[in-house]
C-alpha cells in the first residue's frame, strides 16, 4: 500500500511538472530578464500576442499577473497600461515603435512574498 501510494504521488508530480511548461509559452514573443538573458519562468506565463500594425494585445492569467508598464523612450519613463479583465484573463494593449528592438517592461506578478513588478524585456519573434 505504501509503495503504491508513493508511486501514484510521484506520477502526479511528474504529470504536473510536464503540464506547467505547456501552460502557455507564446511563440511570437518571449521575456528576457533586465540583463537580456532569456527568462523561461516569466515566459511560461505568456500567450501569443495579437499584432495589428504597430498595436499589440497581450493577455495573462489574472491568478499570476496584475499589471504591465511599458517603457516610453520619449519620456524616459514607464507608462502604466490599463488592463481589461475578461473572465480569468487580463488584456493589455499598447503600441510598439520597433519590433526589432527589445521592449523594456515591468510586469506585475502575483508570486506570494515575491510579488511586485519585475523588470523584464520583451523580445519579439515575429
pLDDT in tens, 28-44: 999 999 999 999 988 88
Is residue 94 within 8 Å of residue 83, measured between CB atoms? no
Give the integer Cα–Cα distance in Å for 118 and 69: 10
Question: pLDDT value at position 1?
Answer: 54
pTM of the model: 0.79
Q: Which domains does the chain have, with CATH numbers?
A: 25-124 (2.60.40.1850)
Is residue 117 within 8 Å of residue 108, measured between CB atoms? yes
Amino acid at each position: 500500500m505504501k509503495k503504491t501510494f508513493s508511486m501514484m504521488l510521484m506520477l502526479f508530480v511528474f504529470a504536473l511538472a510536464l503540464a506547467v511548461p505547456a501552460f502557455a509559452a507564446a511563440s511570437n514573443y518571449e521575456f528576457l530578464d533586465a540583463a537580456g538573458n532569456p527568462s523561461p519562468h516569466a515566459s511560461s506565463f505568456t500567450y501569443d500576442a495579437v499584432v495589428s500594425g504597430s498595436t499589440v494585445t497581450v493577455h495573462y492569467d489574472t491568478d499570476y499577473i496584475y499589471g504591465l508598464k511599458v517603457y516610453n523612450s520619449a519620456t524616459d519613463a514607464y507608462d502604466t497600461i490599463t488592463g481589461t479583465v475578461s473572465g480569468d484573463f487580463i488584456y493589455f494593449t499598447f503600441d510598439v515603435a520597433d519590433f526589432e528592438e527589445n521592449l523594456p517592461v515591468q510586469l506585475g506578478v502575483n508570486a506570494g512574498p515575491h510579488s511586485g513588478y519585475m523588470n523584464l524585456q520583451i523580445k519579439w519573434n515575429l
